[in-house]
Homo-oligomer: A and B are copies of this chain.
Amino acid sequence: MKKFINDVDNLLAESLSGFQAAHRDLVKVHLDPNFVTRAEKPKNKVALISGGGSGHEPLHTGFVGYGMLDAACPGHVFTSPTPDQMLAAAEAVESGQGVLFIVKNYAGDVMNFEMAAEMLPFEHATVITSDDVAVENSTYTTGRRGVAGTVIVEKVVGSLAETGASLAECKALGDKVNSRTASMGVALTSCTVPAAGRPTFELAEDELEMGVGIHGEPGRRREKLRPADEIVADLVTAILHDLKPAPGSEVLLMVNGFTGTPLMELYVLFNAAAKLLEQQELKVVRSLVGDYTTSLEMAGASITVCLLDDEIRKHWDAPVHTAALRWGR
């Protein structure tokens, strides 16, 4: 295992301390329990809180800031955060309008956020993301997995929350975006959980895992490496089979790297995916390309399509000011 670490047990705390040191203007990192809030607490808005295992950065800590999350609760690598983290985060950021949890659909995360919700002394609701069309049920889920589409949910609901919208309105928009968003990924290599010290799975030099999960969970099938266009065609076909968009629909196309794939190749994937969508008479009017929901050092990528409407597009375009997404102010 080759990683830049000092001590596996201290990896998360050191990484969060570095995140704090790099982004003092944006965030405040709280240790023990671990959670990240904005540097300045906003007033009189629904508090958006997300969280999940570490190893997917910038998700979720990199999305704390104006126009997106109020707080994020990072667990240890690929391990759910615990209810005490969510409760402490909620106490720190709630400002009288209630708390919306945004949770990727993994059994551990869902259970722990539910436990926190039951103890929460505030009005609350939860949006569970489940954009991964690769498999129904899986290693760590009942139902579909929540993956990179979660970034879009957090951005869009984050913008709405800044307008002073109610908890019910934020919850409704989050569910809507999730229902209009579909993703699927492919791995070229495994990743290595630091505490385990060896690769999560093995792929031969000529193999890929189609439909892989962001923790290296199995996808639809193990298959031989193929040209990028063929890989993308399978991903896009699965996504459109799920979304069934009407011709002429406007979409946001996201190509998300898992870490180990060069940006040059992510744009090859974007090129292929955009052409396929246009062949289906879809209009690619918004884009996001880069590493936004990663799987430690895994080489691979996912494609996400979000069906826009006026409301979603407006909130996607609205200003955001976080460590990992920033535009408009």
Q: Which of B2, B16, B231, B296 contacts A267, CB < 8 Å?
A: B16
Q: Which of B15, B225, B264, B269 contacts A2, CB < 8 Å?
A: B225
The segment out of A19-27, A39-47, A87-95, A157-165 that lies at the interface is A19-27
The segment out of A50-58, A136-144, A166-174 that lies at the interface is A50-58
Contacts of A77 in B (CB 8 A): 264
- Whether B228 and A269, one on each chain, are in contact in the complex, defined by CB atoms closer than 8 angstroms, is no
Q: Is A282 an interface residue (CB 8 A)?
A: no
- Whether B4 and A260, one on each chain, are in contact in the complex, defined by CB atoms closer than 8 angstroms, is no
Q: Which of B2, B208, B255 contacts A299, CB < 8 Å?
A: B2
Q: Which residues, 251 to 274 on A, are CB-close (under 8 Å) to B?
A: 253, 255, 259-272, 274
- Whether B4 and A231, one on each chain, are in contact in the complex, defined by CB atoms closer than 8 angstroms, is yes
Interface majority SS on A: helix, strand, loop or mixed? mixed
Contacts of A296 in B (CB 8 A): 262, 264
Range for the number of chain A residues in contact with chain B: 35 or more
Contacts of A12 in B (CB 8 A): 264
Q: Which residues, 122 to 169 on A, are CB-close (under 8 Å) to B?
A: none
Question: A196-223 CB contact bits vs B (8 Å, 1 = yes)?
Answer: 0000000001001000000000000000
Q: Is A291 an interface residue (CB 8 A)?
A: yes
A31 CB to nearest B CB, Å = 12
- Whether A22 and B270, one on each chain, are in contact in the complex, defined by CB atoms closer than 8 angstroms, is yes
Binding site for B on A (CB under 8 A): 2-7, 11-12, 14-19, 21-23, 54-55, 57-58, 62, 77, 188-189, 205, 208, 225, 227-229, 231, 253, 255, 259-272, 274, 284, 287, 289, 291, 294, 296-297, 299, 301, 326-329
